[in-house]
Amino acid sequence: MIRELSVQNISARCTPSSFNIGSFRDEIKDFSYTFKSGCVYGIIGQPGQGAWALSYLLTGQIKRYSGKILADETIVNPQWLESNSMYIGEELPRNRWLRGSNRTIRQQLMDGSSSYTVGEIVELLELSPSRLDRTIKQISNERWNASVGIGLAHQKVAYCFPWFNADFKEINRARLSLCSNVLKTQKTITIIPSDETSNLENIADEFIYI
């Protein structure tokens, strides 16, 4: 487990996307910050200002960028981020799968190396047992809970959510609150990009305006 994850003078462009949310062109410019474990961060900015791009960056999905990313003062690359971070709503990167794609939630949970059992993760994140033998793509909003559970099973240290605005506040707020509370108790780093602090009221520990 790392104590902090830092970005130094980071600039990058991307078009992040997520199920039920869509996508938009986003750009982060010359941004620096140090994120501490055990904290939930609300990254606040309008579409195009880089909040969602930061989530993409810290999960290793942006391969070309300027600046530095450090884990406990050690420079890390996108491959390290992909192995140690989780983009919420998605499954494990395919290059980690030994038996091809379309792995079920149960299979990805069982392949983890943490001390948690599948049953403990199901209870902790209020997953539906009847959906464990489906893939992430085959479930709807519960995919947030499922991907957090997969991340815990694989001992991920940073969890980055997709764009969260007022359109999704009523639909996913309860899930977001549950997931962020679980991650906070696990001493992970949690990143949630949004356009308004009110969307993350009583969820984020700290707001960063990008």
Give the CA angle between residues 169, 31, 76 to the nearest 5°: 100
Indicate the Cα dihedral angle 186, 51, 80, 175, nearest 10°: 30
At 169, which CATH number? Answer: 3.40.50.300
Structural domain includes residue 182: yes
Per-residue pLDDT tens over the stretch 156-186: 999 999 998 877 666 788 999 999 999 999 9
Q: How many CB atoms lie within 10 A of CB 64?
A: 8
The pTM (predicted TM-score) of the whole model is 0.93
Structural domain includes residue 132: no
| CA-CA-CA-CA torsion sign (92, 96, 101, 105) | negative
Per-residue pLDDT tens over the stretch 122-149: 999 999 999 999 999 899 889 999 999 9
The secondary structure of 9-40 as a DSSP string is: EEEEEE--EETTTEE--EEEEEEEEEEETTEE
Structural domain includes residue 103: no
CA distance 186 to 155: 10
CA distance 102 to 137: 9
Query: Tens-of-pLDDT digits for all 210 residues of the chain?
Result: 899 999 999 999 999 987 767 789 999 999 999 999 999 999 999 999 999 999 999 999 999 999 999 999 999 999 999 999 999 999 998 654 455 468 999 999 999 999 999 999 999 999 999 999 999 989 988 999 999 999 999 999 999 999 988 776 667 889 999 999 999 999 999 999 999 999 999 999 999 999
Tell me the CA end-to-end span of the chain in Å, nearest whole number.
26
The secondary structure of 89-148 as a DSSP string is: TS---GGG-SS-S---HHHHHHT--SS--HHHHHHHTT--GGGTTS-GGGSSTTHHHHHH
Structural domain includes residue 11: yes
Structural domain includes residue 97: no
Domain total in the chain: 1
| CA-CA-CA-CA torsion sign (145, 153, 191, 193) | negative
Q: What is the CA radius of gyration of the chain?
A: 16
What is the extent of the structural domain holding 174? Answer: 4-92+156-209
Q: What is the DSSP letter of 155?
A: T
**Do residues 109 and 153 touch, judged by C-beta distance below 8 A?**
yes
**Do residues 192 and 180 touch, judged by C-beta distance below 8 A?**
yes
Structural domain includes residue 171: yes
